Amino acid sequence: MALPYLEAVLGFMILMYIFETYLDIRQHAALKLPSLPKPLEGVVSQEKFERSRAYSLDKSQFHFVHEAVTILMDTAILYLGILPWFWKKSGDLVAYMGLNAENEIIHTLSFLAGVMVWSQITDLPFSLYSTFVIEARHGFNKQTIWLFFRDMFKGICLSILLGPPIVAAIIVIVQKGGPYLAIYLWAFMFVLSIVMMTLYPILIAPLFNKFTPLPEGELREKIEKLAASLKFPLKKLFVVDGSTRSSHSNAYMYGFFNNKRIVLYDTLIQQCKNEEEVVAVIAHELGHWKLNHTMYSFIAVQILTLLQFGGYTLVRNSKDLFESFGFDTQPVLIGLIIFQHTVIPLQHLVSFGLNLVSRAFEFQADAFAKKLGYAAALRAGLVKLQEENLSAMNTDPWYSAYHYSHPPLVERLAALEEPDRKKED
């Protein structure tokens, strides 16, 4: 007797939607609270609090609608057998175009082209509303409709350029992998991730943003001095024109071995009161590097990827699994899609675990910056970023524990102040 894989997947999807909606309701209630958390009273201005509250509530209401539509569409696609129907129609299209429908690579690319068109059409109304209504209403959106569609077109072109060779390689590996399939798939994805991490900042990111060297001056000198004191092999220091699309701010670093680069959003430089706050944010980021957080995270992802492929190899030839989802053949891509659906419970647990680790890393990076003498500047910088990004001031503990990869501001400020209190005692 065949196991009810489809029914189990649908059941868990709906249960998770109910659970996550419950958390969303708790968070929405926290966002409606009319006053600041006590630790932020006198730290965050009332005007910024009211603006962040309005922004967060708008995003929360939008999220309820988006998630409801998403679960309805995903459930319908699986329950009504749209996935196998779409697979068959994509094969018919290949044959109609005079191509070999028996070639799994061509058939798969036809299927993915249809999926890409469908996802663009269904996602577009939400993206437009989020960008040009919510973000614009609260003063964040800086891009024109022309720039929005130009970015979307560039993204589609990149998918068309990079997708086919990657998909073809995965299909060939699965078809010829044999008993070591999981290792071959992992090795391919490992090499691909290294290549993409190398090429993305050099070839892809500049297609969407302009990167210019940070001008000579006090800020540059302070960052270079800090990097040198930690033996951070800083090769280039860039400013990215994030303000052309949004007034949200950020900073990040990338690069392998002795070729590290730091990127500052122009909005970060504009929003912080002085260079010391910007340097404190960089000190936090350098803490992640010095404490090997990036390496640990990368290794964890590689282990999880290998385990996922190992699980896939155990079920890829399961005729019952494919038939449960309405397929009478066993295409490679469909097998991967079905497998991803069947391991959703594990993925939620893993995601929760990774968030716990990420929050611990954030506290450690804050403590690292504090040891360097940037406690006051980092506190001021964190508050400024929270204010300028209109981030949620009140958060539900259950919601933040489940969703947040970064601790709420209240917790970070408390952790930064805790050693000071011990010294005073």
pLDDT higher at 421 or 332: 332
β-bridge mates for residue 44, sequence order: 41
Q: Give the model confidence (pLDDT) of 276-322 as tens digits.
A: 888 999 999 999 999 999 889 999 999 999 999 999 998 888 889 99
Average pLDDT rounded to a whole number, residues 222-231? 91
The predicted model gives 345-362 an average pLDDT of 91
How far apart (Å, rounded) are the C-alpha atoms in residues 136 and 143?
Answer: 9
- From 3.50.50.60, 3.20.20.70, 1.20.1250.20, 3.30.2010.10, which CATH number describes the 211-271 domain? 3.30.2010.10
What would the mean pLDDT of 25-37 be, rounded to a whole number? 94
Determine contact, residues 244/147, Cβ cutoff 8 Å: yes
How many CB atoms are located within 10 Å of the residue 346 CB? 13
3-class DSSP state of 239 = strand
Assign 425 a pLDDT band (cuts: 50, 70, 90). very low
Work out the pLDDT band at 418, boundaries 50, 70, 90.
confident
Question: Considering only CA atoms, which of 156, 155, 98, 84 is closest in space to residue 333?
Answer: 84
Beta strands at 211-213 and 234-240: parallel, antiparallel or unpaired: antiparallel
Return mean pLDDT, the chain.
Answer: 90
Q: What is the pLDDT of residue 344?
A: 86
Residue 58 among the catalytic residues:
no
pLDDT digits (tens, 9 = 90+) for 127-144: 999 999 999 999 888 889
Segment 191-219 shows an average pLDDT of 87
Is the pLDDT at 272 greater than 80? The verdict is no
Exactly one of 135, 285, 388, 411 is catalytic; name it: 285
Distance between CA atoms of residues 131 and 172, nearest Å: 40
403 labeled part of a ligand binding site: no
Query: Which pLDDT does position 160 carry in this prediction?
Result: 94
Q: Which of 366, 388, 396, 411 is catalytic?
A: 366
Q: Report percent pLDDT > 70 for the chain.
A: 97
pLDDT average, residue stretch 199-228: 88
Return the closest-CA partner of residue 87 out of 120, 110, 53: 110
pLDDT band for position 45 (cuts 50, 70, 90): confident
* Catalytic (active site) residue 417: no
Q: According to CATH, where is 3.30.2010.10 located in the chain?
A: 211-271
> For the residues 5-14, what does the mean pLDDT come to?
92
Residue 134 is predicted with a pLDDT of 95
pLDDT of residue 206: 87
The per-residue pLDDT for range 106-118, each reduced to its tens digit, is: 999 999 999 999 9
As a whole number, mean pLDDT of residues 83-92 equals: 94
Q: What angle do CA 74, 77, 81 make, to 5 degrees?
A: 150
At residue 32, what are phi and psi to the nearest 5 degrees?
Answer: -80, -10
123-159 b/e with 16+ CB inside 10 Å = b? eeeeeeebbeebbeebebbbbeeeebeeeeeeeeeee
Burial of 396 (0-12, 13-18, 19+ CB in 10 A): buried
Residue 254 has pLDDT above 70, yes or no: yes
362 is in an annotated binding site: yes
Contact 404, 397 (CB under 8 A): no
